[in-house]
Amino acid sequence: MRFAHFADIHLGYGRSDALADLERRVFTDSISRCISDDVDFVLMCGDIFHTNIPEMRVQKMAMEQLRRLHDAGIPVYAVYGSHDFSPIDNSVIDLVVSAGYMIKPPLTSLESGDISLGFVKDSKTGVRIAGIGGLKTGRDRDYYDALAREPPESEQGLCIFLFHCGITEMINTIGDEGMPLSLLPGGFDYYAGGHLHKYQDRHFPGYANVVYPGALFAGHPSDMENSANGERRGFVMVEFDHDIIKSVDFIEMTACGYRLIDVDANTKSSEYVRNEITTEMSKIPVNNKVVILKVYGELARGRTTDVDTGMIRRQLLDDGAIDVVMHMRDFTSKEYAIRGDSMGTVQEIETNTFKDNIKQVNLKRNNLTGEQGVRLAQSILSATRKARLANEKSNDYNGRITSEVLSHMDISDGGVS
């Protein structure tokens, strides 16, 4: 018997038609692999979608692929991720569950205030599945703190726990928030994780088979950079026999090749950076590749806008690149004056404006200051820019945008939670 374990698919994240097409192709090929390998069921552990209500084309594509699994008799068990969950609005996950293409393990609130896990039993294999989805702004820990610590009932069969959060013992990136492994409920045979974008399969005392499949497709610039440096993308296939995990295998899904142009601009001139990029472009084959241009550091002379990213993009596309992803958030200049200066890319102006003005105010909430405050401001601004969907009523559009902004701010109708 076998099952497939997915997480962090982020459908709808593709910022260009080319990336959206790669995203669709990888997801479709992955579903085909599950069907051809005759898996007994599929686990999807959060961030299946990049937002709680993605564009209609994304919903349609996802429904078509999930229906293929349904028609093949392969159930999908899923939990929310931090991206496709909303504390004050519905998620497309709820629509998929209502359509019968997904099953979401329930949680029960007890009179004591604790939370009890509800189990779903897979009819074909007898495997029992429970789970807790991801929440916004790291609120997952509240649920785990309130979890009634009762081990699964002792009956034969495999027990699987689905979750979407970073486990401190498995986080490799400095600054990423997580929670200790000890907060996960004990007694399960397989811990199906999501949220960390790198494949990991670890074993700890009392917690065997804690697995993150990583992101299915490298959509974020930092993910693409890691892919260019050799990190694999895909999902996990697990072989089991009754209550024993026999093997955990990573199934690599290759959408395309990647090429990284990495330029350190610190203490350099804008002319040097331009020449360095041109030199690196001449060294690498980019045909049928996604190219990531990463420039970082503070220029000693010149402005960031002296580096013509539009020209660079056009040249790479003319040379056959599938797409060009600019990763230049940390590229700055000493000559860059924020106040009253309209020079630079839109992202540069916004980021530096946020950074400059956040320093001017005294705020008590940590998530409103420093880098956290900048990221929050950027996410709110991004939410307000979302276009109105086809046939979406004005009130529905306004409500959707308002809900998303409030969810980023961790505010409900009753105020700050």
Q: In what order do the strands lie in the sheet with 207-212?
A: 120-121, 128-132, 159-163, 190-192, 207-212, 200-204
Q: Report the b/e string of 390-411 with b at 16+ CB within 10 A.
A: eeeeeeeeeebeebbbbbbbbe
Residue 233 has pLDDT above 80, yes or no: yes
Structure tokens at 231: 């990190």
Of all residues in the chain, what percent carry a pLDDT higher than 70?
A: 87
Q: What is the pLDDT of residue 399?
A: 78
Question: How crowded is residue 146: how many other Cβ atoms within 10 Å of its Cβ?
Answer: 15
Q: For residue 155, what pLDDT band results from cuts at 50, 70 and 90?
A: low
Residue 391 has pLDDT above 70, yes or no: no
The residue with greater pLDDT, 84 or 413, is 84
Mean pLDDT estimate for the chain: 87
The better pLDDT of the pair 30, 136 is held by 30
Pairwise pLDDT comparison (404 vs 343), residue with the higher score: 404
Could you tell me how many helices (H) and strands (E) the chain has, helices first?
10, 19
Q: Given this model, what pLDDT does residue 280 score?
A: 96
* Of the candidate ranges 39-48, 377-386, 391-400, the one whose mean pLDDT is the lowest: 391-400
What mean pLDDT is predicted for residues 243-270? 95
Rounded Cα gap, residues 217 and 158, in angstroms: 29
Question: Is 314:283 a contact under the CB 8 Å cutoff?
Answer: no
Is residue 310 predicted with pLDDT exceeding 50?
Answer: yes
Highest mean pLDDT among 42-46, 89-93, 105-109, 357-361: 42-46
Q: What is the pLDDT of residues 364-373, one digit of tens each?
A: 666 677 777 7
Domain locations along the chain: 2-252, 257-335, 337-417
Residue 360: other Cβ atoms inside 10 A: 6
Q: For residue 28, what pLDDT band results from cuts at 50, 70 and 90?
A: very high
- Other C-beta atoms within 10 Å of 49: how many? 26
The pTM of the full predicted model, rounded to 2 decimals, is: 0.79
Q: Which CATH superfamily is domain 2-252 in?
A: Metallo-dependent phosphatases (3.60.21.10)
- Is the pLDDT confidence value at 175 over 90? no
Instruction: Tell whether the model's pLDDT for residue 103 goes beyond 50.
Output: yes
- Asked if the model's pLDDT at residue 340 lies above 90, the reply is no
Q: Which of 48-62, 112-126, 335-349 has the highest mean pLDDT?
A: 48-62
